[in-house]
Amino acid sequence: MTAPVATGGERRLRLRAWLRRERLLLLFAALALALALIDPRPFADYRRWLDLPTLAGLTALLVAIQGVRESGYVQMLAQRLVLRVRDQRTLALLLAVAAALLSMLLTNDVSLFLIVPLTLALSLQAELPRLRLVIVEALAVNAGSTLSPIGNPQNLILWQRSGLSMPGFALAMLPAFAVLSVLLFGVTLWLFPPHALTLRAPPRLPARRPLLGALGLAMLVLIVLLLEHHRSGPAALLALAVFALGFRRVLAHVDWGLLATFAAMFLALGHVAQLPPVQAALGHLDWNAGATVYFGGIAASQLISNVPATVLLEPYTAHTILLASAVNVAGSGLAIGSLANLIALRIDGSRGALGAFHRISIPYLLLAMPLLYALLWLLH
């Protein structure tokens, strides 16, 4: 039997849906192309900006997590969880704490790949404000990862430069973690009243596939270990090879558009950071002044994301911990401030997700920024 041929109207609807879903990809791709035409650079620069190790690590994680999701066990866990939690506020706090704790050990991005799919499955089991939960989870991983030297890429970079021990770095980051965590607790209480969970009609759960679940989980553990040892290339090749041989349909369902979006973003923002006017502006600022480092780190993160901002600003200042505090707080402002935000919103996929995120995250940053600055000044 031949597949039905899509009509012109159906094709237009699909195109509009694709354009709406991939608007960030198109925006960053257009910016990267425009900059390449206006300010052409050697190929080595584009390769450096593309950040292939990060893209390879994301590829490995996306493949392994998709395997776990398609095994049916995430949906089963969600069903058991909603039967034990009594109200929305308790569920939101539980997910936020889990996301924060995971981010300290597994990095903020990996934590979201685990928590957000569980949240999507939960929303099929009970009436939940799903997007609000995902937004709180994004804020939670940014807060939790702040405390850990290995919680996010910017901390890893600045920890290695600081010369501090792991406990010493965590102690130095405690003020930033405390401010973000207290605000996160308040935001969660505000967003989620203690309303009883309203269960949906039990959905038909997908058939559980034990072999796929075990393989996906084992691959996830192995990939995290490889990434901890900076072996992202082998991790990606291993994940692709294993699932191509045994579960090829998993690869077909991976969100390759997310990887393309990050590739375009890395190219565009890496180029922006190296433009002569940007470099000239940085050279004229006093990076020995604490206020410049703190507010400059936050501002740069809002423009080019906190990891590129860290790489850009780190050579200019000796205030390593202050810069680390700034770029971590900045992850909770504009969505572009942290890759974790974009990952969370992309996995959720709700219409209007960016606007909803900013209605919460921007006030959150505007509160956190002066509070942390005042606390650091008092402790200095």
DSSP 54-122: HHHHHHHHHHHHHHHHHTTHHHHHHHHHHHH--BHHHHHHHHHHHHHHHHHHH-HHHHHHHHHHHHHHH
Q: Which residues sit opposite 127 in a β-bridge?
A: 198
Q: At 290, list the tokens.
A: 């604490």
List of E strands, 22-177: 126-127
Reading the block at residue 191, the tokens are 């967003």
Quote the pLDDT of residue 1: 47
pLDDT digits (tens, 9 = 90+) for 267-302: 988 898 888 888 888 888 888 899 999 999 999 999
CA distances from 122 to 77, 236, 281 (A): 9, 29, 48
- The SS3 of residue 196 is strand
d(CA 175, CA 181): 10
Instruction: Name the residue type at position 13.
Output: L
Q: What is the pLDDT of residues 212-260, one digit of tens each?
A: 888 988 988 898 788 878 788 999 999 999 999 888 888 998 888 888 8
As a dihedral over the C-alpha atoms of residue 310, residue 312, residue 318, residue 321, rounded to 10 degrees, the angle is -10
Q: What percent of the chain has pLDDT over 70?
A: 95
Task: Determine the 3-state secondary structure of 104 from DSSP.
Answer: helix
pLDDT recorded at residue 38: 92
How far apart (Å, rounded) are the C-alpha atoms in residues 149 and 290?
A: 22
Nearest Cα residue to 197 out of 94, 90, 93, 88: 88
Comparing C-alpha atoms, which of 312, 232, 243, 301 is closest to residue 49?
Answer: 312
- pLDDT per residue as tens digits for the range 86-101: 899 999 999 999 999 9
Residue 368: both structure tokens together: 């956190």
> For residue 3, what pLDDT band results from cuts at 50, 70 and 90?
low
The radius of gyration of the chain from alpha carbons, rounded to an integer in Å, stands at 21
pTM for the whole structure: 0.84
Cβ contact 270:48 at 8 Å: yes
Number of H helices, E strands in the chain: 21, 2
